[in-house]
Amino acid sequence: MTGAAAVVRSLELLGVDDVFGLPGGAILPAYDALMNAESLNHILVRHEQGAGHAAEGYAAATGRVGVAIATSGPGATNLVTAIADAYMDSVPIVAITGQVFSTLMGTDAFQEADIVGITMPVTKHSFLVKKAEDIPAAIAQAFEIASTGRPGPVLVDITKDAQQAEAPFVWPPKFDLPGYRPVTRAHGKQIQAAASLLAEAKKPVLYVGGGVIRAKAAEELRAFAETTGAPVVTTLMARGAFPDSHDQHLGMPGMHGSVPAVLALQEADVLVSLGARFDDRVTGKAELFAPHAQIVHVDIDPAEIGKIKQATVPIVGDVKEVLVDLDTAYRSTVSGQKPEYAEWWQYLRGLRDQYPLGYAPSTDGLLAPQQVIQRIGELTGPEGVYAAGVGQHQMWSAQFIRYERPNSWLNSGGAGTMGYSVPAAMGAKVGEPDRPVWAIDGDGCFQMTNQELATCVLNDIPIKVAIINNSSLGMVRQWQTLFYDGRYSHTDLNTGHDTKRIPDFVKLAEAYGCLAIRVEREDQIDDAIQLALDTNDRPVVIDFVVSSDAMVWPMVPQGVSNSYVQYAREHSPAFGEED
């Protein structure tokens, strides 16, 4: 068969159901072959970045590999942001791009770009395929690499002549990946050392990162946490890995984390890091993070261990398997005599009672964004999927929606990509059609990728979009308020607070064929959300006009120690619920 047909057949044999893409000259043979696909559902996006984020949302919601397809040159470079985003957040996607004829490579041919070179720093691996017979193996290897070890994006760039040429199709292809041997089973001595360290702890904390979700290890985490009785914190990328309703859960740590979660990490004597990478938004000033703690660092990527904080017990392995082994070793070590953490828990529960998550009502007559987001979560429930953009609404969504299951919270954590939410929600809804899927977006983020609403309408993908419209680049404005004396340099978007709305989001959404609603009063919030939940024949866009003065609290300023929270608590009489 042709190389183009081999692309399609390989995807089908790998069990792929849905792909997102946009055709162009260099990938046209593959698109012609898609006409004959037996089981592939191709969704035509309006921008290649949308295809990449949709593939991410699909992967994050389902745990399967997402697929994005684009042509050469600008088609491929438009995928780069999504590929980089997937790399930072360990999302398994395969990007398939067309390339100019191999005989033209290096000549600055029309729409030529060295996409392999461009994406090398932000992919697990990149393939350049110049022969039709190499296509099945390249695609099979790409899926193997993307989905094993630490998940991540893989690029397969295929020249147009390779797509047009014919070659025998051999499946399954034989391949070897020299140098790629992910370690999944941890060393027994390290497991025992970690169990012994934890058994001796007086102030242990389980520091849970997004790797637990990628490893599908939520059940194992809960079992281990209940075995040890240790408090649990879940990072921005790990929301839902451990139920918010569980008594051992302290919330999210970091720059905008809860006071109990932040101070538990700062005062712990043993920190068990599970699939977390000690991101700067969690640690603050790294050398002052968890200063008294001995650290057990579990990660499938050996490059992460010791990168930021020195590990007392480094453990390389799949966190799902490691948790099972740790649970067994810990039970054996304590021999039924579980350590007593009463004093530690008394302190942490005191913090939880004293500093509950809260927000101040708005004073300008506009909606409190926290209330809007909280009601979305309460009316939708834990079976929903919530995809957030980047900024204040992202942090409020992480704080005020209660997550009870993994894969329910999708966001751009590492890269912080504006425009992620709408296409990611679209991809999630394709992968999880029976769940209500929300894109919780800001008025800034929404304007970057809202064209994918057309894709949703034409493909019967009924996502719900909540625009948290504060008429500004909210998080940037918050920093300008706090650190730049209120000098609001180029953060006003003019989208919502007067009669001159540019654009008018209701008219824009209606132009795309969506049900569109504007909410400006508190008594309208619930009815609008419920109408969105009851509408499943088209996308729904709700323009929530919220206060631009609302802040994300708590907040640890960038570059300072997390002990700043402790200092503020002890020295500032104004440090209370609203902080």
> So which residues are the catalytic ones?
48, 110-111, 160, 475
Bridge partners for 128 per DSSP:
157
* 3-state SS assignment for residue 440: strand
DSSP 298-349: EES-GGGTTTSS--SEEEES-HHHHHHHHHHHHHHHHTT-PPP-HHHHHHHH
Q: What single-letter amino acid sits at 304? A: E
The answer to whether the peptide bond before residue 253 is cis (omega within 30 degrees of 0) is: no
The set of residues, in sequence order, having a beta carbon less than 8 Å from that of 341 and lying 6+ positions away, is 202, 203, 204, 229, 230
Residue 352 host element (H or E): helix 342-354
Label residue 44 exposed, middle or buried (CB < 10 Å: 0-12, 13-18, 19+).
middle
Q: Is the dihedral of CA 465, 470, 472, 473 positive or negative?
A: negative
Distance (Å, whole) CA 333 – CA 194: 10
Q: Fill in the amino acid letter for 110.
A: F
Taking the CA atoms of 199, 201, 203 and 205 in sequence, report the sign of the dihedral they define: negative
What the block records as the tokens of 340 is: 């007593």
CB 421 within 8 A of CB 446: yes
Distance CA 190, CA 124 (A): 27
CA distance linking residue 126 with residue 138, whole number of Å: 10
Do residues 169 and 9 lie in contact, with contact meaning Cβ atoms separated by under 8 Å? yes
Yes or no: say if 72 and 27 are a contact pair by the CB < 8 Å rule.
yes
416 conformational bin, left if phi > 0, alpha if psi -120 to 50, beta if neither: left
DSSP β-bridge partners for residue 70: 97
Residues 398, 279: Cα–Cα separation, whole Å: 17
- Beta bridge partners, 96, equal 69, 156
Residue 422 identity (one-letter amino acid):
V
> CB under 8 Å to 373, separation ≥6 — which residues?
393, 396, 397, 400, 401, 440, 466, 468
Question: Can you tell me the distance from the alpha carbon of 347 to that of 343, in angstroms, rounded to the nearest whole number?
Answer: 6
Q: Is 6 exposed, middle or buried (0-12, 13-18, 19+ CB in 10 A)?
A: buried
Give me the residues paired with residue 388 across strands.
440
